[in-house]
Every structure is written in structure tokens, then in C-alpha cells.
Amino acid sequence: MPKAQPQPIPPDLQSPGFYFNRELSWLAYNRRVFHQAQDGRIPLLERVKFAAIAGAGLDEFFMKRIGGLKQQLAAGVQASTVDGRTPQQQIAECYEFVRSHQKEREKSLRRLFKELRGAGIEIMHYADISAEEKEALREDYFRNIFPLVTPQSIDPAHPFPFVSNLSLNLLVTLRYPEDREISLARVKVPVGSGAPRFVKVGSRLRFVFLEEVMENNLDLLFPKMEVVGCEIFRVTRNANTSPREEHAEDLLSLIESTLRERKFAPIVRLQVRPGMDPLHRGRLAVELGLDEEADVFEVEGMIGLRDLHELSALNIPALKDPPHQPVGHPALKTPRSIFHVIRDSGALLLQHPYESFDSSVERFLREAAADPKVRGIKMTLYRTSSRGPIVDLLIAAAQNGKQVAVVVELQARFDEEANIRLANRMEEAGIHVTYGVLGLKTHCKVVLVVRQDFNGLRRYVHIGTGNYHPLTARLYSDLGLLIYDANFGQDATELFNYLTTGYTPKRNYKKLLVAPKILKRALLERIEREIAVHTPENPGRLQFKMNGLEDVDIVRALYRASQAGVRVDLIVRDNCRLRPGVPGLSENIRVISILGRFLEHARLYYFRNGGDEEYFIGSADAMMRNLESRVEVLAPVEAPALRGELREMLDIQWEDRCFAWELQPDGEYRLLGPAKEPCVSSQESLIELARKRSQDVMRLRKRKSKTLGRRNLRITE
């Protein structure tokens, strides 16, 4: 009798080796973004923009993620993450990653500046311009920038000055003539205070850095002093000053005080040039409360890449992507009331920025504000534009006698101040403003319109994956639903009652999956169901599209699905804890990350469910903060035609071989498709698909109109 073969021991899902670190995974994403700045298939000024985005992203990483890890260290936290790293280990490995790729970034930036020069945009050193140009720059600087500059002494009579977050600074070494004693002064470079980082030289597109102009005209600030040296430095402060809501009597006042605290928050990074005087470098580190060896980063060349946005904004169409004009949603290309269109359709799927935000979501609010039959509007606001029409439309609705209630998230990171101003403005207009549920961020994107139709009150709902922000609606790839459905309307009413009261009795949602009470459990149950119904004849399949995959429970459930033979396709834009392609664990899982001219921002969850397919869209990533500490919403997409549109979108994105990267088992990402050959990206395909849908509908309407015209003519004859 043959000897029984030993059964393989299943992998231990608790093993740290099966999970990538969130911070390192995000840094890998930032590296992919910077790679776009090196990709010759992308127009030159768009590549400059990607370098600026990567620079700004790295700044925020230090402000939020490194700042948070340092807070954990200060609090004595030694617990390891699921990937087996303590806060100190995470900081050390992140620093190593940043330093190891610093040379790569500097080399790429030099190549980028060389290409700009070839295209007629020259970034010059002050020393390389003519004497006449120097004199003209000096005069312009004296008139237009010098009044903004304030020197600050650093000596026993003057304590070390406050240095603001992300500020660029000159450390000037001075002495009186014929005096051996030296002194120091700090001068802030006033970028963003009305002064450009790139100062134009002459009439052509030639620029020098503002800090070089200032450095070479220090005699204006320090007349009759000898300038011994001038060095540049930049600081980054911790942005994690989360308010303690449980002790707050007035959340708005607490957020305002939190913003003041953030201004003076501890510094987490000091950037300097190589070759800085060791005594000055050490003194800066001490004065700023930093470890000189660990927290000081040397940068060759330009410090503060986010300022490259100034160059990317140059109006040179030949060096940019062709202008993108979103098309109108085919069903909304009609003068009929949008409420009649939604009611007749049942539901409309919106795909931004391929389809217009203005002629869909803004129109929904615009008609709601003016329609005499509309009785009330309820809406969540996480981020929006102070210059956009959204708040104006809500105010107009209130002035037209509608009941308007808005849930404003005051703690939307880096938008707190803007949201406070908007909240105050809306309250002054008579809008009922609330700030959500204590201890939870309101991240869901929902509008509820209550309208008096011919047979009673009816509820119309918009649910989206993106913010109600007209600018980002043209830059981010998002999904939305405009829907008339009694159950959706009832669920939205339940949701707003929860958001405006915070009361947490059992909410009977019929369609919506709402976090933090329901959503995570619902996702886990559906993954387990996919495992249960999977057979070789009727295989299971999961497809998720999101910004980040970090929640450990979701990752482990996906591992179990893979072990059961379920195919798992994941489109994860940035950080991903899951390790794909591990035999016996995740060989049925693939993970890709898509970059492009638009920021991939949509969240979509697909379950094959034995053929009875389910699609959900909404605001939630598979991250613990979204599923357990925020109010989030996923909504089912039920109409077969709309599911077909989502399937088409998913298939196009999954087959991207232009700007898609695949995550490897070792944590590296591999660009799918050849890096130097022309290609059509999934985003370009979706632009063309939206145009085709719009044109097809217009052609169909024209044919129907002609047919109707001929029929009427025959009747008349």
C-alpha cells in the first residue's frame, strides 16, 4: 500500500513576512510618481508637474507619517506592526529608502532641466547671467520682493527664531568690517507670499532661483556688513496635532486651536546642502530639536521640489498633454429636469473626469437650489473649493426657502482652515451646519434631495467616490451614482440622521454599506462567500480598485480566498500591505498600480458571487482608518447596463500596458509594457470611450428625430 504523502503545512497568516510595511509601500508609490518625471513618452511640462507632485508628496509623508511615528516614539510605544517593525525601525528604514533614492532624484532632475533648456526654458545660476541682467534683477527684487523680507539675528540677545513649516531659509554669516567676531542671521525666502521661486531673467523663458537672487544681494539687508557666508536650509514640521474630541465642548474652537498648535509643532526634518559648515549644521539640529545624524538630509541641487509647479504652469501647449474637455453624460444632454431624467432612468453612472462634473453633479445641485418643488437638500462636505460654485449653490438654496443641512468635516487634513471659513459662511446664510459624529471623520460623499413630486415626496441621491470639488473633479478619476430608488432614499435619510445627531441605535440600511458599523463586516462576509461558492466549474473572482490596501483583516481574507483558488485582481494606487504571488498563499492574487495624467481615486468592489455579480462604489479604501474610524459609504450598482459600464472600465484598466506597474512578491514594482514605446493608456482609452458613448447617443437621437419628422410629415400629407 503506497505511503500517504504528508500534507503541506498551510502558511501562518500571522507571519510578519507576509505583509509589506505601509510606510515603505507608500514611499515606493512616491518613487513611481517621480518615475513619471523621467518618462520620455510624457510631455515635458507634464513631467515637471510629476516631479513637483512627488516632492510635495514626500513633504507630506514626513509631516504626517514620520511625524506620527515620532509621536509614538515620544510616547514610549514599542509595539510592532503586523509586518514586525517597531516605530524606530520604521523611521530608520524610511530614512534609508529616502536617502538611497535621493541621488536618483537629483540625477533625474538634472536631466529634466537639461531637456527644459533644449525646449527653450532655461534654469540658470545667478553667476551665469550678464551684469546688465543682474542689475535689472536687483532693481526688480528691491521693488517687488525686498519689502517682504525680514532678517532675524541669532545671538545671545535674540533667541533662535521661529522657522515655519516648509519654509526655505538663508543662514547668513556676518561680521563688521575689521572685526573678527562673526554673527548669524536667518532670512526666510518669501516663496508663496507673493514672490515666485523662479525669477524670470529678461524677456525669454530664462529663470534663476529666488534664493540665489537674495544671496547675491544681501548688502541690501545688511548694509556695510561683510557677508562671510550664506547657506540654505528648509524645515518640515509634524502635522499630527489631532484634537482630543472627547473632552471638547466646542469642536470648531478646538480645531482652530489645533491649527495654531500645528504651526508650532515639532520639526521632523531638516534639509541642507552638502558642504554646510559642520558647526552650523550641528547648531541648527540642536536648535530645532533634531538628531543631526538621522534627521538632517543633504540635497544636491534644488530643495523643495513642490515649487516646480510654477514651471509646469507655463502656458506652452506643445509641452503639455492635449487639453481634456469632459463630455456631458449622454442621458443628461437634454433640457428636461434632471430629476425627471433620473426618475425615468432609475440610476445614472458618472465617470469623472471623462464625463463632466459641472453638467451632472453641479447641475443636480443647481436645479435643486432653483426648483420650487425641492423642499430640502442634505449634503456631506469633506473637501471643496472656496472659489467653486458648490457652497454658493447651497446658500442660494437656503435663500430660496429650502431646508439645507450640511455635514462639514472640519478635520479634513490640510483643509481644516478652509472648511471652518466655509462652515461659518454657510451658517451665516441660514444653513444648518453640523460637524459629524464625535470621534469619527465624515469621509462619505452623499447628497440627498427631497422633492415634492406629483404623488408625494421623493428622494434623489448622489453617492460618489470623490470630493465635491470642481477642480479635482477635472484632475481625479472618480465614479458617482445619481439614483432614484426608495430604498436608497430611505438609507440616505438614515445616514444623515446619524450624522447630524450621532445617535447610534441600530440603523436599518437596506442598500448602503456604512462604516464603521457595517461596511468592514460586509466586505469580509462577501469575501468568505466567494470562497464558499467557488468551484473549478464556476470559479470565484474578486476585483477591488482602491487607493490603499492596509487593513490586516481584509488582507488575510484575500489570502484565504487565494488559497481556496479564487482569482483576486487588485488595482491599488499607492500603499499595499498584501504580498502577491507567494506559493501556497497568494499565487492567485495580482496587484497593479496605475498612474497617468489623472489621479486614480475611484473605489470599486466586485464580487462574482457564483454568477450573481455584485458591484459596489463609494468612498472607502480597504484601510483600517476608513473601515473603523470614519463614516464611509459603499453603494451597490444594480442596473445591468451600469454594471456593464463598470465591467468595461475594469477590463480596460486591468489591461493597461502603458503606465501600469505590477507588484512583485519581493515588494518591487515592475512597469508593464515597454517603457520607451508609444502606447495608449487606460485613461486615454476611457476618454475615447466616453466620447464614443456620447456620440452614439447623439447619433441615435438624430435618427429618431428624423424618423419622427418623416412620420409626422406622412400624417400631415
Instruction: Look up residue 42 and give its amino acid.
Output: I
Least confident of 227-236, 421-430, 529-538: 421-430
Q: How confident is the model at residue 380 (pLDDT cuts 50, 70, 90)?
A: very high
Query: How distant, in Å, are the alpha carbons of 17, 351, 533, 543 from that of 612?
Result: 36, 24, 11, 15
Q: How confident is the model at residue 245 (pLDDT cuts 50, 70, 90)?
A: very low
Least confident of 34-43, 433-442, 557-566: 433-442
Write a three-state SS string for 133-195.
HHHHHHHHHHHHCHHHCCEEEEECCECCCCCCCCCEEEEEEEECCCCCCCEEEEEEECECCCE
Least confident of 73-87, 288-302, 386-400, 406-420: 406-420
pLDDT at 247: 40
Q: Residue 414 pLDDT > 50, yes or no?
A: yes
The three cell numbers locating residue 654: 486591468
Beta strand ranges found along 374-444 (DSSP E): 374-381, 403-408, 432-434, 441-442
Q: Residue 364 pLDDT > 90, yes or no?
A: yes
Question: Residue 19's beta-bridge partner residues?
Answer: 578
Instruction: Name which of 416, 351, 421, 239 is nearest 649 in CA terms.
Output: 351
Number of H helices, E strands in the chain: 20, 27
Least confident of 118-127, 187-196, 257-266, 448-457: 257-266
Stretch 399-411: mean pLDDT: 92
Q: Is 101 an active-site residue?
A: no
Phi, psi values for residue 453, rounded to 5° = -90, -175
Contact 260, 416 (CB under 8 A): no
Instruction: Quote the pTM value.
Output: 0.92
Stretch 262-289: mean pLDDT: 90
pLDDT at 199: 97
Q: Residue 9 pLDDT > 90, yes or no?
A: no
pLDDT at 706: 64
Q: Residue 401 pLDDT > 80, yes or no?
A: yes
CA 394, 396, 400 angle in degrees (round to 5)? 115
Stretch 156-161: mean pLDDT: 80
The three cell numbers locating residue 132: 546688465
Q: Cell 465642548: give the residue.
A: 249
Q: How confident is the model at residue 673 (pLDDT cuts 50, 70, 90)?
A: confident
Pairing verdict, β 513-515 and 541-546: unpaired
Separation of alpha carbons 669 and 111, rounded Å? 23
Instruction: Name which of 608, 292, 633, 309 is nearest 464 in CA terms.
Output: 633
Q: How confident is the model at residue 404 (pLDDT cuts 50, 70, 90)?
A: very high
Least confident of 90-104, 150-164, 547-561, 605-619: 150-164
Separation of alpha carbons 586 and 568, rounded Å? 9
Q: Cell 484565504: give the residue.
A: 560
Burial class of residue 537 (count of CB atoms within 10 Å of its CB; 0-12, 13-18, 19+): exposed
Query: How distant, in Å, are the alpha carbons of 79, 156, 437, 601, 602 from that of 546?
Result: 28, 54, 25, 7, 6
Helix (H) / strand (E) containing 696:
helix 682-716
- DSSP character string of 678-692: ----HHHHHHHHHHH
Q: Residue 717 pLDDT > 70, yes or no?
A: no
pLDDT tens for 647-656 read 999 999 999 9
Stretch 339-366: mean pLDDT: 97
CA 346, 349, 350 angle in degrees (round to 5)? 135
SS3 600: strand
Stretch 96-100: mean pLDDT: 96
Instruction: Name which of 474, 472, 471, 465 is nearest 446 in CA terms.
Output: 465
Burial class of residue 293 (count of CB atoms within 10 Å of its CB; 0-12, 13-18, 19+): exposed
pLDDT at 696: 81
Sign of CA dihedral 550, 551, 553, 554: negative
Nearby residues of 10 by Cβ (< 8 Å), 6 or more positions away: 563, 584
pLDDT at 156: 72
Least confident of 122-126, 258-262, 418-422: 258-262
The three cell numbers locating residue 686: 476611457
pLDDT at 486: 96
Instruction: Look up residue 181 and give its amino acid.
Output: E
Q: Residue 257 pLDDT > 60, yes or no?
A: no
- For 421, other C-beta atoms within 10 Å of its C-beta total 12
Of the listed 329, 443, 462, 469, which one is catalytic?
443
Question: Residue 622's beta-bridge partner residues?
Answer: 549
Q: Residue 559 pLDDT > 90, yes or no?
A: yes
The three cell numbers locating residue 172: 547668513
Percentage of the chain beyond pLDDT 90 is 80
Q: What is the mean pLDDT of the chain?
A: 92
pLDDT at 387: 76
Instruction: Name which of 621, 561, 619, 612 is nearest 590 in CA terms.
Output: 561
Separation of alpha carbons 15 and 529, rounded Å? 25
Stretch 387-405: mean pLDDT: 94
Stretch 70-99: mean pLDDT: 94
